[in-house]
Amino acid sequence: MTSPVNWLEYDVETMVKHDKNSLWHHLKSHTMFQEKEQMIVVGGQGLKIYDIRGNEYLDATSGGVWSVMVGYGRESIARAVYEQLTQMPYFAGAYGSIPAIKLAAKLLDLLPHHGKIYFSNSGSEANEKAFKMVRLASRVCKQRKGKYKILYRDRDYHGTTVATMSACGQFERKKGFGPFVDGFSEVPHCLCYRCPFDKTYPGCSIDCARAVEDVILKEGPDTVGAFIVEPITAGGGIIPPVKEYFPVVQEICKKYGVWIIMDEVVCGFGRTGKFWGYEHYDVDPDIITMAKGLASSYEALSATAVKQEIYDIFLNDTSKPEEQTNFFRDISTYGGCTAPMAAALESTRIIEEEDLVENSRKKGKILFDRLKELAALPVVGDVRGTGLFCGLEIVVDKVKKTPPSELQMATLMGNILAEKVIVGRTNSSLPGMNTTLYFVPCLTVSEQEIDIMVSAVVKAIKKTF
């Protein structure tokens, strides 16, 4: 495939200088990008990306944060955005727009148990809206009075605002940013490989799920309003719960009137081999949040989907404005941008017409099987995942499950990159446990590309350890 990039367009050394002197990189220590030249990405096509030095890489991370679902270089999405921008780029979300109406209707077709869609611009904001709904309902709904607390799961991640960090199960992401918001409590993670109860599935009574009830009782059932959870833990190590997990959780939540907020920011739009991650389980969430794959990250967009009965809590009983106390007074400026909705409609069309959810299922099985073969290597402790969403946990002692050092992991990642393949890993999240490699390619990935990814990792592992 011919590169879409004309490197003669760029003054390389000037861009490298400005990158070092002007740009504040996400997640990286200041020392890292002050001392070493960072990759500057200038183009992409399919699963390949190109840097400013003319290097070509195979991307197994869907843009680094698992969000470019349909691959790079989709001209039809760019055209949809352009055409919408020339017609009507923006008007506040207090009013309707054609692409917003169309996209809301499309999402509700895909979520038949839900009744309303609220648009915003990031996964963090989508979850924040859900939190605000829980809090407001605890004040205006007689049946939910006082139920303002929100539970979250160890190892799960729900966003970067102070409120969503209050519901973050990744200590390193939270470090230094407190104090956090009151009313958030943690429940144990559900990683069988490192069971928090030192038990072995299936002889474990699914204690990780039953612990939700323990926390509800400890906090006080009359105060707990919601449990936010990823269907499959993403940045905390790619952790698919066992099949019994969510039915137990849902039974507990229904018993105590606790809403389930399903964070589909990573898992939605085909990532796991089903359109929604929660479809792998017998569970019926009350609120569903989404972002990343919603517009395939060609534009910034998120949404919060709620069941009709939740929306109805905020209906007003009076026409007098001064007496309207229970409606959802909230706004998202960029929730009124129309181009992201146009991008999302086109991205979703591509996913459906090219049957990319099925490709995710089929190629995901191939990817998982290839990775399982690596379990014979002395440093591969666990292989887990669903669809095109797989993780490889690295250890230096299989019996003790001892994690490698941060330096060893950094060396491994550098050796993989030297093979011109980009994979991800647990990053600045879990103290001493940032040791899981991530394979999360675009849904268009081929079997040949999977072989290249896995082969690169094998070479790097043998070189590193």
pLDDT of residue 326: 76
Residue 434: per-residue pLDDT: 95
Q: According to the model, what pLDDT value does residue 170 have?
A: 95
pLDDT at 18 exceeding the cut of 60: yes
Give the separation between CA 9 and CA 377, rounded to whole angstroms. Answer: 45
6 CB burial (10 A radius; 0-12, 13-18, 19+) = exposed
Indicate if the pLDDT at residue 389 is higher than 70: yes
Alpha carbons 58 and 382: distance in angstroms, whole number: 24
Distance CA 21, CA 225 (A): 46
Reduce the DSSP state of residue 89 to 3 states and report it. coil
pLDDT score recorded for residue 265: 98
Local confidence band at 104 (pLDDT 50, 70, 90 cut-offs): very high
Distance CA 182, CA 304 (A): 23
Question: How much is the average pLDDT of 294-307?
Answer: 98
pLDDT of residue 10: 76
pLDDT tens-digit series, residues 413-462:
999 999 999 999 998 899 999 999 999 999 999 999 999 999 999 999 99
Confidence label for 202 from pLDDT (cuts 50, 70 and 90): very high
Burial of 92 (0-12, 13-18, 19+ CB in 10 A): exposed
- Sign of the four-CA dihedral 375, 380, 382, 387: negative
Give the DSSP per-residue string, 378-397. TTEEEEEESSS-EEEEE-SB
Note the pLDDT of residue 321. Answer: 64
Please give the single-letter amino acid code of residue 33. Answer: F
Domain boundaries 7-68+355-464, corresponding CATH code: 3.90.1150.10
Per-residue pLDDT at 1 = 46
| Residue type present at position 251 | E
Residue ranges matching CATH 3.40.640.10 in the chain: 76-353
Q: In whole numbers, what is the pLDDT of the chain averaged over residues? A: 94
Helix (H) / strand (E) containing 425: strand 424-425
Residues 22-51: tens digit of each pLDDT: 988 888 877 766 678 899 999 999 999 999
Q: What is the reported pLDDT for 8?
A: 58
Residue 229 half-sphere exposure toward CB, CA atoms < 13 A = 31
Class of domain 76-353: alpha beta
Q: What is the pLDDT of residues 118-158, one digit of tens each?
A: 999 999 999 999 999 999 999 999 999 999 999 999 999 99
Helix (H) or strand (E) holding 358: helix 356-373
Largest Cα separation within the chain, whole Å, is 72
Average the pLDDT over 13-23 and give the result. 90
Q: Per-residue pLDDT averaged across 302-309, rounded? A: 98
Q: d(Cα 430, Cα 451) in Å, to the nearest integer? A: 29
| Beta-bridge partners for 119 | 303
Range list for CATH 3.90.1150.10 in the chain: 7-68+355-464
